[in-house]
Amino acid sequence: MKRLLELEVAGQDRDAVLKLLRDNGYAARDVTEKTLDARLLLTQHCVDHAPVDISLLEPATARITYANEAMCGNLGYTPEELVAKTALDLDPSLTVERVAEFERRFAAGDAVPPFETVHRRKDGTLFPIENVLKRIKFAGLDVVMCFAQDITKRKQAENMLKEQVHFVQQLLDSIPVPVFFKDAEGCYLGCNSAFETFFGLSRSQVVGKNVYAIAPKELADIYHDSDALLLRNPGTQLYEAVIEHSDGSRHDVVFNKATFVDSDGRVAGIVGAIVEITERKNVEKRLQASLVEKEVLLKEVHHRVKNNLQIISTLLDLQSETMHDERLLGVFRESQDRIQTMALVHEKLYKSKDLASIDFTSYIEDLLSFLFSSYEGGTGRISLLVDVGKVALDIDWAIPCGLIINELVSNALKYAFPDDRRGEIAICFVVDEDDWITLKVSDNGIGFPPALDPWQTETLGLQLVRLLVQQLQGEISLAQQGGTIFTIRFWGRRARN
């Protein structure tokens, strides 16, 4: 019985080795060809069932010499039908000139980059593909291997993305203010039509550039630094700046910017809007100039009113020098005090930075200093206690309050401490959180005589106080407890602590 031996033999001695084994009783058989056949079948199977369309073409004519099963199925042809066609039959955009160009590039050893085109099915429908061509020379064969990938879904996704991008761009273009967006490196990714018009630049001149490409360096430095700060501290940013148009003109603007993130939550860039405020700035400047002019005019008015009141006071003083009636001299003096009280208000307004209100604290201090020097004479026998916080009053409140304090304090100085008695006068001025003002003028003097009703007296001073309280739409009360306490309360809507 012969023994069976299967082996692979290679080289020139293949036949001699097989003869020797057979002569020695072996049923020797070379399995090399059998292995090669199996490998070829496996390769053929893999190519036929590959997930892409694979075909072999003659280089010069583009005639199809082989097509795998995937290609036949996608195109709707049998292998026999495809082998009878050329690549030009499948690709309506392919021309003889282009086939010749491919041949020249292959002959020069250059690769043909992947390219997109279309294939036509047997039923006439077209579908997009990505083509990859590879020139192969093997065992005397010279073919072009073609790999065609159906990219219909990819194209659909790309078209959908384009539609979305187009919609977003239309949305941005409908916004009337300039809008832009940049990546995290500061390069512009896009802008809207208002941005193009505003800067006098086309979108192609902006996209891919940074601020230094579209703005002077001194302005670009400001934009760059603000962008860097926003990227370090993600969120929103609002600031005023200056921009320069392509014609060289400069405009005041407000930048309103915010960071945006990618799908992973990382800061991907900045989106911003620009609002021009040049006209607003110009209006503000004109208003400021007008306001300064009006303030100067009002200050001059207050100055002139104060001077005229001083002239009246001086005239009264000169007239009093010719009089010897003590009662009339007192009347003149009281009139001078009232005029001086009003003049002091106008003097404060003339010197004030805010013409709408008066520093009432300083005003009271100056008024009391004037009254004490006029009546008390600096003897020190009557002390003064003042409790007034930092308060600013409108002139409509300041003059009545000043006149009330003038009347009540001057009365106390004249009548509360006869025979050189010592005592104290206290002033308290309080504004509560609801803008109600309480003014108290008190002294620890002798008070009013028991039989005298202060509100029925014919003296001008107290009558004037009641009229002034009515002018303030307030109320006044009098208490006599170891002296006198006048309490006036009114609503000072424009009083400010």
Residue that finishes a domain, picked among 337, 355, 373: 355
The secondary structure element, H or E, covering residue 240 is strand 236-244
| Inside any domain, residue 248 | yes
**pLDDT at residue 140, rounded to an integer:** 76
Nearest to 131 by CA among 150, 106, 154: 150
% the chain with pLDDT above 70 = 73
Nearest to 96 by CA among 147, 62, 144: 62
- What are 360's two structure tokens? 């009432």
| DSSP reduced 3-state for 275 | strand
Q: What is the pLDDT of residues 375-412, one digit of tens each?
A: 766 677 888 888 887 777 777 777 788 778 878 888 88
- 76 plus 210 within the same structural domain: no
pLDDT category at 496 given cuts 50, 70, 90 is very low
**pLDDT at residue 255, rounded to an integer:** 93
- 217 plus 314 within the same structural domain: no
Question: Could you tell me the CATH number of the domain that includes residue 442?
Answer: 3.30.565.10
Query: What are the residue ranges of helices labelled H in 352-459?
Result: 360-371, 395-411
Question: Could you tell me the CATH number of the domain that includes residue 99?
Answer: 3.30.450.20
**pLDDT at residue 3, rounded to an integer:** 46
Q: What is the pLDDT of residues 234-277, one digit of tens each?
A: 999 999 998 888 788 888 899 999 999 988 889 999 999 998 88
Residue position matching structure tokens 């009013």? 448
Residue that finishes a domain, picked among 135, 150, 165: 150
- 369 plus 490 within the same structural domain: yes
- Say whether pLDDT at 54 is over 50: yes
Looking from the CA of 104 toward its CB, the CA atoms found within 13 Å total 6
Which amino acid is residue 141, in one-letter code? L
**pLDDT at residue 306, rounded to an integer:** 57
- 333 plus 366 within the same structural domain: no
The boundaries of the domain holding residue 325 are 277-355
Residue position matching structure tokens 């509560």? 432
Q: Lowest-confidence range among 17-21, 125-129, 147-151, 307-311?
A: 17-21
- 89 plus 57 within the same structural domain: yes
Query: Whole-model pTM?
Result: 0.44
| Inside any domain, residue 480 | yes
Number of domains in the chain: 4
**pLDDT at residue 495, rounded to an integer:** 47
pLDDT category at 301 given cuts 50, 70, 90 is low
In terms of average pLDDT, the best of 151-155, 275-279, 285-289, 398-402 is 151-155
**Cβ(115)–Cβ(125) under 8 Å?**
no
Nearest to 68 by CA among 85, 45, 100, 87: 45
Question: What whole-number distance in Å separates Cα of residue 92 and Cα of residue 265?
Answer: 45
The whole-angstrom distance between residue 324's C-alpha and the CA centroid of its chain comes to 77
DSSP3 helix / strand / coil % (the chain, rounded to 5): 45, 25, 25
**pLDDT at residue 355, rounded to an integer:** 46
Rg, C-alpha atoms of the chain: 52
Q: What is the pLDDT of residues 324-377, one digit of tens each?
A: 667 666 666 666 666 666 666 556 555 555 545 667 777 778 777 777 777 766
What Å distances lie between residue 269 and 169, 190, 223, CA to CA?
17, 12, 14
- 486 plus 403 within the same structural domain: yes
| Inside any domain, residue 142 | yes
- 35 plus 146 within the same structural domain: yes
Question: What whole-number distance in Å separates Cα of residue 484 and Cα of residue 432?
Answer: 24
- 222 plus 294 within the same structural domain: no
- 384 plus 368 within the same structural domain: yes
Nearest to 363 by CA among 408, 407, 398, 311: 398
- 97 plus 222 within the same structural domain: no
Q: What is the pLDDT of residues 432-465, one digit of tens each?
A: 888 888 999 999 988 887 766 676 666 667 788 8
| Inside any domain, residue 24 | no
- 315 plus 370 within the same structural domain: no
Query: What are the residue ranges of helices labelled H in 216-351?
Result: 217-232, 278-320, 326-351
Residue that finishes a domain, picked among 302, 334, 355: 355
Q: Lowest-confidence range among 225-239, 352-366, 475-489?
A: 352-366
| Inside any domain, residue 235 | yes
Compute the mean pLDDT over every residue in the chain, rounded to the nearest whole number. 79
